[in-house]
Chains A and B, each alone.
Chain A
C-alpha cells in the first residue's frame, strides 16, 4: 500500500507522465491494429462455417464433368450446382458490371439465404432455396445503380428477369470484401436463354454436396484417389472443404495481421525510446529518494520490491488506458476502411487485448526497467556524498535488452524469427542511414552557426552540444514523417500521376466475352460508330502443367506474378504493339507446321519461372493438354493499357478451343446522362443493348476503384502513423526532459547575466526549428526515394518529383517540432531565474 502511495506522490509530481504516456501510446497502437485485425478475421471465420453452403464442393473453371455429380449421387450425397461470373446487367437507363450467381433451385445445401421482399424495415426472410425461373434476386445497391425497384425487370444477357427479392446475406458470400460488382442471383433454368455462357467465358462452376459425414469422407477419398491416378484430368478441378478454405484464409489473414502489427512496431519502438529516456530521468529523480530510504534502513530487496510494484501498477494502468483508447481508435481505422470490409463485424475476442497487455509488459521490461535496475544498489552513503558514481546498467546492455524486447515482440507478432529479424534489420538500417545524414547535417549547421548572431548561435550550438539527444529526436521524427509522407504521396498523387502518364490515345474501354459469331457484326458496328479499336484477340483460359516434361507445382507457379491461377492465352500472327522481343525470335507471321507448337512469354514471368528459349511447357486448356516450345521472350509495356498477355501462341493454336474475343476500344465522344447522374458513352449503351452477353469494362472505373482502395488503405495506415508520430513527439519530450535541468540552469545563468527572455526563447526556437527542418529534409528525401521505387517498380511508371511533399515535410517538421519543443520548454523561458536555480538545487 505504501508503495502505491509513493507511486501516487511521484505521479502527482509529474515524474511519471512521460513513461505512462509512452506506454499508453504503445499499447494503444497495438490494440487498435490488433482489434481491427481480429474483428476482420472473426468476421471472415464466421462466414467460413457456412462458407461453401455445403459440406463439400468441387470447383472448376470448366463446365463440370457429370461424373463428379454421378459419383456423389451414387454415394448418397445431395448435390446442387452453382456458377459465378461477371456480366453486364442493365435497365432502360443504366447498366452495371454485376457479379452473377446462377443456382439450381435446391441451393443452398447448408445455411440459408437472407432476403427481403419489401423495403428494409421489414424483418428479413430466411430461405433454403434459390430463385425460380424468370426471377432475379439482387443486392439492394444494384437497385440504386440501375434505377430499379422491386418488381421491375432487369436485363441479364438476352433474358429479362423480374426482381422479386433483395438479398441481404447468402451463406457462401465469399471473403467479405466488398470489392466486386453487385450481386444478382438467378435460376440455372434461365441460363441458356440468357446466352451468357459461351466457350471461353470466365466462369467458376461449383458442385455443392451435402450429407452424412462418412459419405462426405468417402467422396473425399474417391476424389483424392482419382486425382492421384489421373492428375491431368483433375488439373482444372479443386476440392473445397471448409477446412482448406479456412486454411487459405488463415494464411492471408495472418499475413495481414503481421503487416499491421509490424507497422505498429515502429510506434512501440519510438514509445520504447521515449520510455527509456523518461525512465532515465525518473531514475535520476529517484536516486535521492532511494539513497535516503537506504540511509533510513530500507533494504535493497525492499527497494527492489517497491520498484517492481510501482512498475506493475504503472504498466497495468497504462495498459488498461491504452487498450481503452486503442479500442476507440480502431473505430477510426474502421471508418477509414469503410467499404472494404462488410459493415457488421463481430466483436473482438480477448486475443488482441492479450497482445496489447503483453506488449505493455515487455515494453516496460525492455525499456523502463533497465534504466531503473541499478536503484536498489545505490549506496546509502550517497546521502552524504552525492558525487558517488551509480552502478548504472551500461548503455550497451540497455540497448541489448531493448532490442531483445523488440525482437521478442516482432517475433510474437509475425510468428517468424526471420521476418522479425529482417524487419528490425531494415528498420535499424533505416535509422542508421538517417543517423549518418543527420550527423552530417548537424556538422554543417554547427559550422554555419559559428558566424551567426546571438540566439541563432546559441540555438545551433545547443544542437551540436547535445548531439546524442538531437540524433535520437531526428531519427524518430525523420522515419515517422517519412512514412507519413509516403502514404500521403500514395494517397494524393500516385494514381493521378499514373493517369496523367497514360498515352493520349489510351483505350477507354475493354470489350470481351464476344463470341466468334458476334465478332464480324461488332466490328462493323465499331466502324459505323467510328470507334477506334485495337486489334481483336482470341482468348481462352488454361493452365501451365509441366516444364520440360516435369510437372509444374502450384507452389512454383505461385512464385510468378500471374501464372499461379488460370491464365488468359491468346494467339497472334504479329507481335502486338507495345511488346518487344528481348530474346528468341517471333514467328514473323508465318504459321509454322512444326510438330510442336510455339509460344512467346512475357519477360518478367519467364524470369520468375526460370525458363529459357527452347524450353517445352505443357499446357492444359479445357481438359486437353499439349506441349509448346518457348521461342521468344517479350518485354511488355503494361503502361500502354492495351490488351496484353503473358503467353501468346503461334497462329492457329487456339482455334480448336472456341475462343471468345477481346479488344480495347477508344470511345471518346458523345456522352449521355444515365441513372445515378453518371455519364456514359452513347456508343457503349448501344453496344450493350445489341450484344448483351458482351462485357464492357470502363478503364476509368477500374482506375477509380484502384484509387479508392489505395485511399482507404493509406488512410488507415496514416491513422496508425499519426499515432506513431505521437510516439515521436514523446521521444522529443523525453529527450528534452533528459537535458531539462541543464537547460533550466543555463537559461537561469544566461538571464542572470543579462540575456533577455527573447534571446533564450529565440535560441530554443532556432534549435527546434533547425531540428525540424533537418528531420523534414531527411523525411522528404526518404519519402521521395520510396515513392520513386513504388512508381518505377510497383506501378511500372516513369518517376516524377513530388515538390509539394518536400514542402509539406519540411514545413511540417519545423512547425511540429518547434511547437512541441517550445511547449515542453516553456518553463525554461518563463520561470524567473532565481526560482529556476532553487528548483534545480
Chain B
C-alpha cells in the first residue's frame, strides 16, 4: 500500500499582471507520508501560502499535479476537489476565521453539521473541553482572547477528524507565550488524532517540531528534508 498522503509534482503557479506573467511558485515537487508533519518555511511573499492552497485543493496550479491520498486533485473540477476536502481536510488559519455570529460551540460544530454529523454538538463540546474552553462554549468570538479564538479554531479543525490538517501561520497573530501554548496544543492533538500536519510558518521553533521541513524562496523549493517524488 502506498503510504503517501500528499504528493506534489512540478507545481507551478503563474498569474498575469497588466504587463507580464508573474511566477509565484516554480516547479515544486515532494511527497509526504501519512501521520507525518511538514513545515513549509520561507520569507514573506515566498509563495508558502500559495503552495498550501494548491496542496489543499483550494486553488489550481498553472502546471504540475497534486495527489491527496489516492485522488489527483489537479484532474478534478471544483466540485470534485470539494468532495475530497470534505472527506479528508481540516484547516487552521492565521486569522482564526471564526464566524462572529456563532458561539464557540457553534463554530466548532458547523463543519460537522455541514457534513451531516448528527452528533456534531456533542463532539464539539468534547473538543472544546480538550482545548480547555469548556467554560466558554457559549461565548462569541469577540468575547474571547486571540489565543482562545485560535484554540476554538484548532478544536474545530480536529473535531472533524481530518486525515490531513493544513495550518497557515497558526501562531502568526499571537504573542510568543500564547503562540507557544497554541503550538503545543496543535502538536498534541495531531499526535492523538494520527492526522498528517502541513503547516506554513516562518517561526523556526515551530518548524523544528515537525518531522520534515521544506524551504520556499522566491517561489522555488530551495531546501527539503523530504524525498522528492521525482528524484
Contacts and interface: CB of A to CB of B under 8 A. Distances in A.
A379 B82 CA distance: 11
Interface in B109-130: 111, 113-115
Given A292-B97, A383-B91, A298 B114 contact: yes
B168 A294 contact: no
11 contacts: A2-B114, A9-B102, A13-B100, A293-B114, A295-B89, A296-B115, A296-B160, A297-B87, A383-B91, A384-B93, A838-B142
A477 to B, nearest CB: 30
Contacts of A295: 56, 58, 85, 89, 91
Residue from the set A297, A298, A381 with the largest chain B CB neighbour count within 10 Å? A297
Nearest to B146: A838
Contacts of A289: 99
B137 interface: no
A500 to B, nearest CB: 60
A300 B142 contact: no
B78 interface: yes
Residue from the set B84, B93, B101 with the largest chain A CB neighbour count within 10 Å? B101
A380 B82 contact: yes
Interface string A382-415: 0111100000000000000000000000000000
A386 B97 CA distance: 10
A841 B95 CA distance: 9
A5 B113 CA distance: 10
Nearest to B89: A297
Interface in A279-314: 285, 288-289, 292-301
Given A292-B111, A295-B58, A384-B49, 17 more contacts: A5-B113, A13-B102, A285-B101, A289-B99, A293-B114, A295-B91, A296-B85, A296-B115, A297-B83, A297-B115, A298-B86, A379-B59, A381-B53, A381-B59, A384-B53, A386-B95, A839-B142
Contacts of A297: 82-87, 89, 115
Interface in A252-298: 285, 288-289, 292-298
B185 interface: no
A384 B58 contact: yes
Nearest to A294: B82
A383 B113 contact: no
A384 B97 CA distance: 10
A15 B86 CA distance: 27
B58 A380 contact: yes
A10 interface: yes
Interface of A: 2, 5, 9-10, 12-13, 15, 285, 288-289, 292-301, 379-381, 383-386, 835, 838-839, 841
B74 to A, nearest CB: 15
Interface in B187-215: none
A292 B87 contact: no
Contacts, number: 79
Contacts of A381: 53, 58-59
B86 A2 contact: no
Interface in B64-103: 78-79, 82-87, 89, 91, 93, 95, 97, 99-102
Contacts of A10: 101
Interface of B: 49, 52-53, 56, 58-59, 78-79, 82-87, 89, 91, 93, 95, 97, 99-102, 106, 111, 113-115, 142, 160, 168
Nearest to B79: A299
B83 A383 contact: no
A9 B85 contact: no
A9 B111 CA distance: 15
Residue from the set A288, A383, A386 with the largest chain B CB neighbour count within 10 Å? A383
User: Dominant SS at the A interface?
Assistant: helix
A379 to B, nearest CB: 7
Given A10-B101, A13-B101, A381-B59, A298 B82 contact: yes
A15 B102 CA distance: 12
Given A2-B113, A293-B114, A383-B93, A9 B101 contact: yes
Contacts of A301: 79
B192 to A, nearest CB: 21
A386 B113 CA distance: 24
B110 to A, nearest CB: 8
Contacts of A285: 100-101
Nearest to B102: A9
A380 to B, nearest CB: 5
A288 B99 contact: yes
A298 B115 CA distance: 8
A372 to B, nearest CB: 16
Nearest to A386: B95
A557 B209 CA distance: 97
Closest 6 interchain pairs by CB? Answer: A297-B86, A13-B101, A297-B85, A381-B58, A296-B111, A380-B58
B58 A383 contact: yes
A9 B85 CA distance: 25
Contact of A9 (B82, B89, B106): B106
A710 B167 CA distance: 71
Contacts of A293: 114
B99 to A, nearest CB: 5
A385 B97 contact: no
Contacts of A835: 142
Given A293-B114, A295-B91, A297-B83, A383 B101 contact: no
Contacts of B115: 296-297
Contacts of B49: 384-385
Nearest to B140: A13
Contacts of B82: 294, 297-299, 380
Residue from the set B79, B93, B99 with the largest chain A CB neighbour count within 10 Å? B99
Contact of A292 (B89, B99, B106): B99
B100 A296 contact: no
A841 B59 CA distance: 25
Contact of A385 (B53, B79, B106): B53
Contacts of B93: 383-384
A737 to B, nearest CB: 15
Nearest to A296: B111
B101 A12 contact: yes
B163 to A, nearest CB: 12
Contacts of B58: 295, 379-381, 383-384
Contacts of B83: 297, 299
B177 to A, nearest CB: 19
Nearest to B106: A9
Contacts of B113: 2, 5
A7 to B, nearest CB: 11
A297 B106 CA distance: 18
B85 A300 contact: no
Contacts of A296: 85-86, 89, 91, 111, 114-115, 160
A838 B100 CA distance: 11
A799 to B, nearest CB: 56
Contacts of B111: 292, 296
B102 to A, nearest CB: 6
A300 B80 CA distance: 11
A8 B168 CA distance: 31
Contacts of A838: 142
A109 B115 CA distance: 75
A298 B87 CA distance: 11
A182 B79 CA distance: 77
A24 B91 CA distance: 39
A9 to B, nearest CB: 6
Residue from the set A293, A300, A384, A386 with the largest chain B CB neighbour count within 10 Å? A384
A660 to B, nearest CB: 79
B119 to A, nearest CB: 14
B89 A288 contact: no
Nearest to A2: B113
A295 B49 CA distance: 14
Contacts of A379: 58-59
A521 B2 CA distance: 126
B62 to A, nearest CB: 14
Nearest to A301: B79
A2 B111 CA distance: 11
